[in-house]
Amino acid sequence: MATLAPRQGVDWSVVVRSHWLLVVGALSLLVPTVYSMARGPWSVESGVHGPIVLATGLWLIYGRIDEIREHMRPGAGWLTGLGIVVAICLYGFGRAFDFISIEVAGMLLALLSVAHAYLGLEVLKRLWFPIFYLGFIIPLPNWFLDVVTQPLKLFVSEIVTGALSSFGYPMGRQGVTIFVSTYQLLVEDACAGLNSLVSLSAIGLFYVYMLRGSNWRYSLLLLALVLPVAIGANIVRVAALVLITYYMGNAAAQGYLHNFAGMVTFVSALLLIFLVDKILTPVRNALARMETRQEGRTA
């Protein structure tokens, strides 16, 4: 009976000695940017998923180290050079003018360009999911948040007001401000669903990849379904806070119950994504068969 050769680990001391200049360059980009992220986006609700995505993304890449060694070939020099030039421009601009989103994008592009130089395009294609997944550490710029969350807040407040009014509650609305009895509640950015949308997308895709494989068609399908799930969950969250305010007062709604409602909403939305994945099992199997047939034709 044949036995499998034990998996070889990575001797990091050899890596550092052989490529010390590369290690120093990578750390000069990583350390200040990660520090800025820790003090900024990762310290607020919209970016709490960042450290988790970074750690799990690197873990996914390390888990395929044998496959990387098998297929690694030096990449095209012109493509590597172009990527590094663009990355340095983005990183320098973002760092100089405090645009953290551009800075992080430049850092990732620089690391990706160096990986292309050493590993080649074939390896990067095989690592498409971890690379795409690591893109979730790029914080959304404030202008994008302002543009997207405003219509979402209007939509959530309109749905909640209309639904509770149909049950006889004394409701009113002006923009994103909801009036119930003698109280008024402002629908904040967190209640629009965009914060949980990014986190749910990242966790949902990680779940699909670990349990179902890297079928890109199914990953895109589940990613598209995360949006209505996140918005629906936050509609329930806002409605619950309105009812708490109506029956228990504003102090109760803005106290620990507010944070508790946010946590329950996120967990419920995550469980709903798992349920959607279970319901879509026939679709996932059909897409897997389609991908297998396509690979058979190209083989």
Nearest of 55, 36, 53, 57 to residue 199 by alpha carbon: 53
Tell me, yes or no, if 173 is annotated catalytic.
no
Rounded distance, CA 293 to CA 7, Å? 31
C-alpha separations of 293 from 190, 219, 287, 290, 299 in Å: 44, 18, 10, 5, 10
Tell me, yes or no, if 237 is annotated catalytic.
yes
Residue that has been written with the tokens 């966790």 in this structure: 203
Helix or strand holding residue 173 (H, E): strand 171-174
Catalytic one among 95, 173, 212, 237? 237
Chain centroid, CA 268 distance in Å: 18
Residue 31 pairs with which residues in a beta bridge? none
Give φ, ψ of 93 to 5 degrees.
-65, -45
Catalytic one among 173, 191, 212, 284? 191
Residue that has been written with the tokens 């970074």 in this structure: 54
Catalytic residue annotation: 191, 237
